[in-house]
Amino acid sequence: MISQTQQPTTPKQETIHYPDSDGQPMADNTLQFRWIVIIKENLDLIFTDDPNVFVAGDLLWYPIEGDNRIRRAPDAMVVFGRPKGDRGSYKQWEEDNIPPQVVFEILSPGNTQRDGPETDVLR
């Protein structure tokens, strides 16, 4: 009788999708939108000569690999130590694990106290 050796099976690694959009509007009104654009564009101007400062507006930031539910889309963000360039989202683990160091959120009339700056960004 020939014995067959069973190979251990490894579980399939589930592919996690990290969407580039959260389906939410960038701004609730024209004034809020104007401030987002002003801040983001001026940050671009301030750091235009530094190739290792990444500036983005309304870009989804995923801080933890493997969990696409923990995410934020700051109105504007600055990341020192990362190259300029286009990205669909900011996956921190693909960016030398460097988080955004400066984040701007422009409040609108619809914001509540819970949405304010004192809220933990990764709640």
- 2 has pLDDT over 90: no
Residue 16 CB neighbours (<10 A): 10
> Where do the domains of the chain lie?
50-108
Q: What confidence tens digit (pLDDT) does each residue in 66-87 have?
A: 999 999 999 999 999 999 999 9
How far apart, in whole angstroms, are the C-alpha atoms of residue 52 and residue 18? 24
- Cα-to-chain-centroid distance, residue 27: 17
Residue 62's φ and ψ, nearest 5 degrees, are: -110, 110
How far apart, in whole angstroms, are the C-alpha atoms of residue 123 and residue 115? 11
Q: What is the pLDDT of residue 120?
A: 43
Within a 13 Å sphere around the CA of 8, how many CA atoms are in the beta-carbon half? 2
How far apart, in whole angstroms, are the C-alpha atoms of residue 119 and residue 122? 9
Per-residue pLDDT, averaged over 87-105, amounts to 98
**pLDDT band at residue 55 under the 50/70/90 scheme:** very high
Say which residue, 122 or 1, is predicted with more confidence: 1
